[in-house]
Amino acid sequence: MGTLNYVLRQEKRQEAKEFGKWYARAVHGAEMETDELAQLIQRNASVKRSDVLAVLAELSEVMSDAIQTGRIVVLNGIGRFKAGIATKPASTPKTFTPQKNIVGAHVLFQPEVKKVENKFIKKMLEGIQFTEAVKNDVEKE
């Protein structure tokens, strides 16, 4: 369980339906890269960091191959990964060509969820707490 900091932000776009209202926005810290993940996994499990790095590198390759062939990759406890495409419309099915109308591809991620008291909770966020980030007391001129 962890605590995620947030800051309050006011909607300032005058055309917005909720103009003037306040919202919480997550505050993110430093990225955790593969090497740090491997260090932590080594500390918590009976495998060496180098073995973890090798498995994660191969996982990336295998997932890429599977996703590119239309498979949905499910990592239990994490979620599902699949390919999506961005297209421009065609007037008719006959005028649609992949070269002209498909403009890109992306990976879609759907976190694993579980049902708790009739609510679906994303497993990776189960038990998360929130606290307002400390404000900087320096006034700007």
Note whether 135 and 9 are within 8 A (CB).
no
pLDDT digits (tens, 9 = 90+) for 122-134: 888 888 899 998 8
Per-residue pLDDT at 137? 53
Residue 124 to residue 93: CA distance in whole angstroms: 41
Strand 73-75 to 129-132 pairing: unpaired
Evaluate if residue 28 carries a pLDDT over 60.
Answer: yes
DSSP letter string over 31-75? ---HHHHHHHHHHHSSS-HHHHHHHHHHHHHHHHHHHHTTPPEEE
Evaluate if residue 141 carries a pLDDT over 50.
Answer: no
pLDDT digits (tens, 9 = 90+) for 47-96: 999 999 999 999 999 999 999 999 999 999 899 999 999 999 999 999 99
Nearest residue to 127 via CA among 141, 114, 108, 140 = 114
Percent share of the chain, pLDDT over 90 = 77
Q: What does pTM read for this prediction? A: 0.76
> Exposed/middle/buried for 38, CB within 10 Å: 0-12, 13-18, 19+?
buried
Three-class SS of residue 81?
Answer: strand
Per-residue pLDDT at 136? 59
Nearest residue to 9 via CA among 138, 133, 128 = 133
Residue 79 to residue 64: CA distance in whole angstroms: 15
Per-residue pLDDT at 62? 97
Per-residue pLDDT at 99? 96
